[in-house]
Amino acid sequence: MKKILIITIAFVGALGVYNAKAWGHQAHGTTAYIAEQHLTPEAKKKAHYYLKHTLPYYASWMDAWKFSTKFRQVNSWHTGVAMEDGVNYNMKSSKFPGRVMRHLVKALAELGDGKYKNLPDSVVRQRLINMIHYVGDLHCPCHINFPKETFPHYRYSLNNNGKRLSFHRYWDGSLAWQGRGEWTYEEFATLVDKVSPEQVAVWQSGTLEDWGRDIVKLGHRAHEITTEGMDVSKMTKEQKAASIALTDEAILMGGYRLAYVLNTIFSDGNIKTYNEE
């Protein structure tokens, strides 16, 4: 009997993994879809040339491959860390988990200013695949970690109807928790992408350092909305609305910025990392 139970649990677990709707799949794909809609014709043509696919197709490629031995190092390239002041993004952290921004900076240095033209197509393709994922992960509200020295109160869990639920798990799968787990990318774009040109200009301006500060703010908002021990099955109308607003903003901000990154690269420009450069 015990054997049956173990087999059943293993099976259910396996199916759960395949059916999971985490930020990693749905939100990543949606972010990439938003970006695809706002590429210049030139950038779209070049992106499709290198990728041989649309942007959303590769949005979760890094998640799909991180289980393979040769790619295990990419498992730590998905999150970032805030500075101790809780305002700035740690742009130079060489330790886990501060790597996603470092790799975006590295990829921009390799591809920007027209340098992509001097690289083999396969290298450009791989960098693009990674960048699609980096920009999505950068904007996920739970992919910014806060130093435990200055933010010990940010280390907590939530609960779902009495069962422990990690803060990370809620925000990774926030679209599904918000009842939008079955939405297609097109539905999200049609219903949610109503961003004004002024707002887009604000999001796409500045340096990566500036973008990092926005991302730190997204992280703080997530902690303000889902506080320690909160039962996510009993959220108030206001809390649900705040949760939806944050998810939407993170996806849209990421999507418009990814479009900007690719439009810039394919018009032979680059994005500055620091304001002091």
Query: Which residues of this protein are in contact with another protein, per CB under 8 A?
Result: 3-4, 7-8, 10-15, 18-19, 21, 25-26, 29-30, 33, 48, 51-54, 56-57, 59-61, 63-70, 72, 75, 183-186
Measured from the CB atom, is 33 or 89 closer to another protein? 33
- What's the rounded Cα separation, in Å, for the pair 207 and 272? 5
Measure the CA–CA gap between 177 and 57, rounded to whole angstroms: 23
Nearer to another protein, 19 or 94 (CB): 19
CB of 82 to another protein, least distance (A): 21
Query: Could you give the CA distance from residue 202 to residue 184 in angstroms, rounded to a whole number?
Result: 27
Q: 68 or 196, CB closer to another protein?
A: 68
CB of 119 to another protein, least distance (A): 21
> How far is the C-alpha of 230 from the C-alpha of 220, rounded, in Å?
16
Cβ distance 158 to 170 under 8 Å? Answer: yes
What is the four-CA torsion angle of 142, 147, 152, 155, rounded to 10 degrees? 30
Nearest residue (CB) to another protein, 10 versus 245:
10
Say how many CA atoms lie within 13 Å of 55 toward its Cβ: 33
How many residues comprise the chain?
Answer: 277
Q: How far is the CB of 244 from another protein (least distance, A)?
A: 17
> Between residues 25 and 143, which has the closer beta carbon with respect to another protein?
25
Q: Are 88 and 217 in contact (CB under 8 A)?
A: no
CA distance 243 to 142: 12
Minimal distance, residue 276 CB to another protein, in Å: 35
Residue 52, both tokens:
């041989």
- What number of CA atoms fall less than 13 Å from residue 191's CA on the CB side? 11
Shortest distance (Å) from residue 69 CB to another protein: 4
Q: How far is the CB of 272 from another protein (least distance, A)?
A: 32
Q: Which is nearer to another protein, 4 or 117 (CB)?
A: 4
